Structure 1
Amino acid sequence: MEQVLLNTLGLISEDWASTLVSFMHQGGPILRWLAAAVVVCWLLIIERVLYITIEFPKVKAQLGAQWQARVDHHSWYAHQIRQGWLAQADTQLHKNLSMIKVLVAIFPMLGLLGTVTGMITVFDVMATQGSSNPKLMASGISLATLPTMAGMVAALAGMFIHARLSKMCERKAIQLEQSLRSQK
């Protein structure tokens, strides 16, 4: 089913699709949950990148025009209005960053859950079949190690991207604040 879905979407070639399906099968059900969490995380990351690069410049221009249209720029009231606009823009900039951070923290935990379930499988095979046949334990060992590796790789990539997005948001917020101060 997974291979049919990947092939119909045309996302990857058949060799890659069969390799991915094999990897997912060897990793067990926890790896599927991890893959779903990774997909959600990357969708949120893409949404943030699109907002920062496409929507935020429009918001910045709109706030700049609103500030420029104001007659009063120096009173306490004007500063409070500007601070409110900056707070709203900052909230929009940092939207979903906490969710991305939580998902990144969950990735290694799901990997460890896969390790535990895989080791339970290995011990179950050893208890029922004896420990003399390594072929019987091989599937349980792969079930134990693949989710851990996938969870760690996903967490490392997610930590890097989250840090970059956070820095971008901070930089954009500072630029917006400076642009509203320098006008008039």
Structure 2
Amino acid sequence: MQFLFEQIELIREFLQAGGIILSVILWVSFLLWFLIIERLLFFKLDYPKRYQQYLESWQQRHDKKSPYARYFRRYLISQAVVDMRKTMPIIKMLTAISPLLGLLGTVTGMIHVFDTMAITGNGNPRAMAAGISQATITTMAGMVIAIGGLYFNRLLEQRIDDETHHLTDSLQTH
């Protein structure tokens, strides 16, 4: 139990060193990973059931060649794409905003350094360390989150494309 308290204290100190911006980056990260995991679970658990429903809806049609049948087929495919892309714009936005928040942390950290220099009147490294630490920690955190977000964003986009093509091929018109 003592180990857990020590780890929590280390995390608290790390967040304090990064300032308020690092806390915002942390919350953005939680939301981003929640949405990524939700999409991965959607494809693992929910989408196979929906895929079967789309196929059954199409198989129940006797007419598969008329203009109305083609419209219905397009509707099924469009509905599947909407379901698959449900939270993708938010994932993309959070991925894009992460390095910008890191940059904001860098700027606020450097302002802290300049304020310290103005107050002390010299370039005392000890006095400037907190601002430099804040600047580098937030930059690193924003970039790490963005890199992970980009990877999973691309992975999910590829899965959406593959599933869309698979569904399109499965809904035969002959």
In the superposition, the TM-score normalised over structure 1's length comes to: 0.89
2:150, 2:123 → 1: CA distance? 42
2:33, 2:7 → 1: CA distance? 20
- Aligned to 1:142, which of 133, 156, 172? 133
- Aligned to 1:129, which of 120, 125, 130? 120
1:86, 1:114 → 2: CA distance? 43
Residue 47 of structure 1 corresponds to: 38
- The Cα shift of 1:70 comes to 1.1
- Residue 151 of structure 2 is aligned to residue 160 of structure 1: yes
- Residue 62 of structure 2 is aligned to residue 71 of structure 1: yes
List 4+ stretches of structure 1 deviating above 6 A. Answer: none
* Structure 1 runs not aligned, ≥5 long: 1-6
One-letter code of the match for 1:178?
A: D
| Counterpart secondary structure, 1:112 | helix
2:7, 2:147 → 1: CA distance? 23
Distance change in 2, residues 1:175/1:13 (3 Å) = farther
- Provide, for residues 18-39 of structure 1, a one-character-per-residue CA deviation record: whole Å limited to 9, x for no partner: 3222211110000001111111
- Residue 165 of structure 2 is aligned to residue 174 of structure 1: yes
In the superposition, the TM-score normalised over structure 2's length comes to: 0.94
- Residue 48 of structure 2 is aligned to residue 60 of structure 1: no
- Provide, for residues 9-62 of structure 1, a one-character-per-residue CA deviation record: whole Å limited to 9, x for no partner: xxx944432322221111000000111111111111111111111111111101
- The Cα shift of 1:132 comes to 4.1
Residue 103 of structure 1 corresponds to: 94
Contact 1:30 1:110 in 2 (8 A): yes
- The Cα shift of 1:131 comes to 2.0
* Structure 2 runs not aligned, ≥5 long: none
1:127, 1:87 → 2: CA distance? 60
Residue 120 of structure 1 corresponds to: 111
1:62, 1:87 → 2: CA distance? 14
Contact 1:52 1:169 in 2 (8 A): no
- Provide, for residues 141-182 of structure 1, a one-character-per-residue CA deviation record: whole Å limited to 9, x for no partner: 101110001001110110001000110111111111111127
One-letter code of the match for 1:61?
A: Q
Residue 81 of structure 2 corresponds to: 90
- Provide, for residues 65-114 of structure 1, a one-character-per-residue CA deviation record: whole Å limited to 9, x for no partner: 11111111111111110101110111111111111111111001000000
